Structure 1
Amino acid sequence: MIRVVLADDETVVRMGVRAVLAAADDVEVVGEAGTGREAVDLVLAHRPDVAVLDIRMPELDGLDAAAELRRLTTATAVLVLTTFADDAYISRALGEGASGFVLKTGDPHDIIAGVRAVAAGAAYLSPAVARRVVDQLAGAGPRPRAVERVGGLTGREREVLGLVGAGLSNAEIARRLHVVEGTVKVYVSTVLERLDVRNRVQAAIVAHEAGLIPPELRA
């Protein structure tokens, strides 16, 4: 069971997201908050697998809450609820440790898919915002700086990075490469360290910038 803390200062939105998550038989909402400070306190109290945080909240906004959670615990993945108007926050969210973004007004199934993905250790961008985010942060084609950054990786490490960039979980990468999941975890950790990035979403952006996404997995 994936345990979730949900935070949004709009009661109607929070009720709607909770109803969406309740439809998934593998997700349980263990706490709800209306502010970022309440969200941090609930996460520390319940130690959930995922914190679903709205960006715009009083006391602490979702990004400040994500930053504080990163300092206090690494066990809870952060999935950010966003709107198209929040594009300017995305690069900051990456630096604060968010593992994914879903659109509040998008397909409800994206929220469930996002929770499942980040709980499994994958990065997740809902289809409705994926292209917008990638275009904003990565550009339309390979960038020389990114190509240079991945030049020091081995062939297998670049392959793993491309699959991370495509949004695959460790288990999915393991099946695709015919290796055990533990091996993938080692590769991912090594890639994050060698690229000097904080999380899989940042690594995914580098993968897009360097043109490493397998053609059949491109959005």
Structure 2
Amino acid sequence: MYSIKEAFYSLQGEGAHAGRPAIFCRFTGCNLWSGKEKHRASAQCQFCDTDFIGTDGQNGGKFKSAVDLISHLDNLWPVGTNHKYLIFTGGEPALQLDDELIAAAKASHYTLAIETNGTLPLPDGIDWICVSPKTAEPLVVNRGSELKLIFPQEHLPPNLFTDLEFEHFYLQPMDQSALPEGRERVDDAQAQTIRYCLQNPQWRLSLQTHKMLGID
């Protein structure tokens, strides 16, 4: 059984594949925050701006098998076109993503990506692994395609990650709109992020272009 909060076809807004058409499959649940506001202040990740509770979102639901879920997602891809790209996200998709779902997606000719916090092991067969660290605990997923660090996080300076085996290193200014009351805001996180990238050229700037353009 797979629990999906929502699924939709849009453009990737962040990182190395910004602008690429993709199906987003958002799993229910996360291991760093319950998703409930009453738990935000004590959560390991406090700035999440995503609703991943339940299955009541756009094209959400519960699916008994991997084939059922991929068939459902296939209906979102433009008929008769190739370059099929599927992004597993959350919440934390590693809580539910398994070999059966990857096999079903590959059978439908998808290139597969995941956006994960890196704290849980991943099954084989994922083509693009984007890790976005949120906790000071050592990463379980310490190599991949893209490391995207939300910046600044006092407990996670970028130099903790510079020696890991990723193809791309991105800093993304923190969206502070969802921070709990009492949590100190950072003055001009965007300017700080730009400055850090200029001073440390291993890192590139990632912006949430989907928010800037008003794309879902």
TM-score, scaled relative to structure 1: 0.29
Q: Which has the higher helix share?
A: 1
**TM-score, normalising length: structure 2:** 0.29
By relative contact order (CA 8 Å, sep 6+), the higher-ranking structure is 2
